[in-house]
Structure 1
Amino acid sequence: SYSAYQALKAMELGTLQGRLLAGLLAPHGDDPSPAQQQVAKSLAAQKIAQLRRMVEGETKRRTAEQLGREHVQMYGIPQLAENVEFLRASGDQLRQMRRVVAPLARVLAARLAARRRRARAGAIDLRRTLRRSMSTGGVPIDMVLRKPRPARPELVVLCDMSGSVAGFSHFTLLLVHALRQQFSRVRVFAFIDSTDEVTHMFGADADLAVVIQRITREAAVFTRDGHSDYGNAFVSFTEKFPGVLTPRSSLLILGDGRTNYRDPAAALLAHLVTASRHAHWLNPEPRHLWGSGDSAVPRYEDVITMHECRSAKQLAAVIDQLLPV
């Protein structure tokens, strides 16, 4: 059978985009202007997007040709958007999935509000209860409950923007943006082989589809050959953004943990986890593939809690559990 995900991964779109960008900038010499860099990045991103659509269309055609029309009719029935697997989703399916972000965010916010109302009941404030009951001699006792202060943590997101998991990262960032009011602060960092902060792109009124395109064009997410490099991403995050993680921070990492056989820097990840209040990793790959090939997931699992998030439905269930009360 033909899989768009497997084909795109084998093509290493990140590497292709890096080479294409280098070719577009070559005529401008060793010191291209910011405007020339911007135009080249935009054109490179457009060409890679076109290639992705061509591969998706070709894999569909070949699957239908190989398996026959009856099979396609039987198994090609559109799934509900929230049940489609991120790594197998076509461009059209990913666009449909983005439409469920707002409803999912409303449901999650409502559940969180209910949990917070229950949590606000609080414990008995004994000192204030005794003081208030003195005027009645203790009969009846007027109970006073503590009002816990909602300690909404800061959220720090580290997301892999490489071609193989881009759809998953895009969707998750959309959902996080929709839930941003549940956190005291949200900071977003993107990477392929190097990390750059992209928080400033996520304004309250920002067009999120445009933001995702801007990240690929404008952010310094690859400085080497464009291959995913989690180890170097963690190194560059630590060097360029020291002090971002604090005991108030919740760290959320998005990606498949495939390092192209490079140093995964698991010890450095352990340091990031220790510096945070909470740390979780959301992985769009099926659990049975973790550790296969160039996957460094088993080493990462030793230092951080990892969750399988293959579909929007599964992702929403995980985030529902992780949202701060």
Structure 2
Amino acid sequence: MSTQLATRLVEFVEALRAKGANAGPSESIDAADVMRVLGLDDRDLLREGLAAALVRRGGQRDVFDQTFDLFFPVGVGRPEAARDADENLDVQQIRELLLMALLDRDPRTLAQIAEIAVDVLGEVGQPGTDTAGWSAYQTIDRLQPQTLIAAAMAMRPGGGSGSGGQGLGTQFTDRLARDEVRQGVEAFREMVQAEARRRSAELRGRELVARHAVRSSRDRVDFLSANRQQLEELRRSVKPLARILATRLSARRRRRRRGKIDMRRTLRRAMGTGGVPMKPVFEKPRPTRPELVLLCDVSGSVSGFSNFTMLLTQALSAQFSKIRVFAFVNAMAEVTEIVRDGAVSGGGDIETRIRAEARITKWHTSSDYGEAFLDFQEFFLDAVGPRTAVLILGDARNNNQNPRFDALHEIAMRSRRTYWLNPEHHTRWGLGDSEALAYAEIVPMHECANVDQLTHFVTRLLPV
């Protein structure tokens, strides 16, 4: 392997590691062996070989593919399809080409049209300056491929309509055809994004584009900045993640079943070995599981984080003797049944049901942790006992209201353990109307900005 190729591979691994991939020296050596054996003649084969060596966790394959396309591109410079295309192509002509490709369901033609579209519509900035680049957003915004779905359905035999007494069978096939066209549009979007990243990387450098343009893996997406699609993907990952976490919690519980050392019985047994405690005697473990109480801020700023965590803990319900869930904006209400029903149905309607059925606000709609803690202290304090672990979910932004440290202190004193999970990065704690640093003096506060940090908390700190 040449020095240039080895340097490219090291840079590729470093870019993956920056996005959360567990790729260390051993994986890098495996990847180098893969490249030595497979060579560079078959790019798809090389992609699969490197993925086998470097992708160790689920949810990271998309990150790998996007980064691979930057460091091992299919071509360099202006693509052949763009060079061969008519220089006078306008938006409408490209839309017509895209419409025909969607009808033909030809991935290769879609890829060529994506290259042409980026070349014609995606250039931004001033050529030859630091502002130069290629924008997938600008290309998609000008082309509007989603508006071609209806046109593609209308050009199908039968006009794409399942109405007019044609029967359920025709309606079903029309729905399948519409889904196929929609999938083609989404695939085209991905191709445009990949081409824009490749062209921009040639101008601005692969490392810079990989850092800012490659989407993070699902477990590294910040809860507070996640869009609707990313939150939906997180909801779908709850059950697989819960199975993994349940296995880890069970392993922790098995390790603790030996109990503590019984000093009196250990010293008595040591009398038979000259006073040397060769075999310690352990106390009998208590076969009990802790109770869990969640206090969740469901205001707009942190609702995605709270909803995900509520679903996750409900999926882990077998690991606890009892789980009770309370939601608040500035008034505390129990929502255990709503969360339980939402976990069964997939979790899409939890936020809507909580806002419709639970009294989580009073005379205003801004977060007020102090008022919510006071409500819990007055109406629900009996939910906390010596076997209870309390998890508080929220960003601790109190909108300059009375934080009521006394109410939080009483909740913490009654519980076995109390933890605060904050989805904001710790560098923002205490800024503006945040009371995070003050609350952290009463209960331990942990940064849980993404699934990876939340998983670490559950497996290492959550009582078992």
Instruction: Give TM-score, length-normalised by structure 2.
Output: 0.50
* Partner residue in 1 for 2:306: 169
* Partner residue in 1 for 2:336: 199
1:76-91 superposed matches below 5 A: 76-91=213-228
1:65–1:216 CA distance, 2 compared to 1 (3 A) = farther
Is 1:254 matched with 2:380? no
* Partner residue in 2 for 1:240: 379
CA RMSD in angstroms, aligned pairs only: 2.9
* Partner residue in 2 for 1:190: 327
- AA partner of residue 317 (structure 1): H
C-alpha distance in 2, partners of 1:158/1:259?
15
- AA partner of residue 108 (structure 1): L
* Partner residue in 1 for 2:461: 322
Is 1:159 matched with 2:296? yes
Cα shift readout 1:155-180 (whole Å, capped 9, x = no counterpart): 11000000000111011111111111
* Partner residue in 1 for 2:434: 295
1:147 Cα shift?
3.8
* Partner residue in 1 for 2:258: 121
* Partner residue in 2 for 1:269: 408
In the alignment of these two chains, the number of paired residues is: 254
1:57-96 superposed matches below 5 A: 69-70=134-135, 73=197, 74=209, 75-96=212-233
Cα shift readout 1:31-67 (whole Å, capped 9, x = no counterpart): xxxxxxxxxxxxxxxxxxxxxxxxxxxxxxxxx9998
Q: Is the 8 A contact 2:310 2:339 kept in 1?
A: no
Is 1:220 matched with 2:359? yes
Match of 2:448 among 309, 312, 315: 309
* Partner residue in 2 for 1:283: 422
C-alpha distance in 2, partners of 1:308/1:69?
36
1:80 Cα shift?
1.3
1:70 Cα shift?
4.5
Q: Is the 8 A contact 2:314 2:340 kept in 1?
A: no
1:321 Cα shift?
1.6
Larger gyration radius, structure 1 or structure 2: 2
Is 1:107 matched with 2:270? no
1:163 match: secondary structure: coil
1:123 Cα shift?
5.8
Q: Is the 8 A contact 2:124 2:135 kept in 1?
A: no
1:143 Cα shift?
9.7
- AA partner of residue 151 (structure 1): T
C-alpha distance in 2, partners of 1:291/1:115?
34
Aligned residues with identical type, % of pairs: 45
Greater RCO (Cα-Cα under 8 Å, separation 6 or more): 1
Is 1:229 matched with 2:229? no
* Partner residue in 2 for 1:18: none
1:240–1:79 CA distance, 2 compared to 1 (3 A) = same
C-alpha distance in 2, partners of 1:177/1:65?
47
C-alpha distance in 2, partners of 1:96/1:252?
24
Q: Is the 8 A contact 1:248 1:277 kept in 2?
A: yes
Structure 2: 5+ residue runs without aligned partners? 1-122, 126-130, 138-196, 198-208, 270-277
1:220 match: secondary structure: coil
Structure 1: 5+ residue runs without aligned partners? 1-63, 132-140
290-299 vs 239-248, which deviates more? 239-248
- AA partner of residue 257 (structure 1): A
1:144 Cα shift?
8.0
- AA partner of residue 189 (structure 1): F
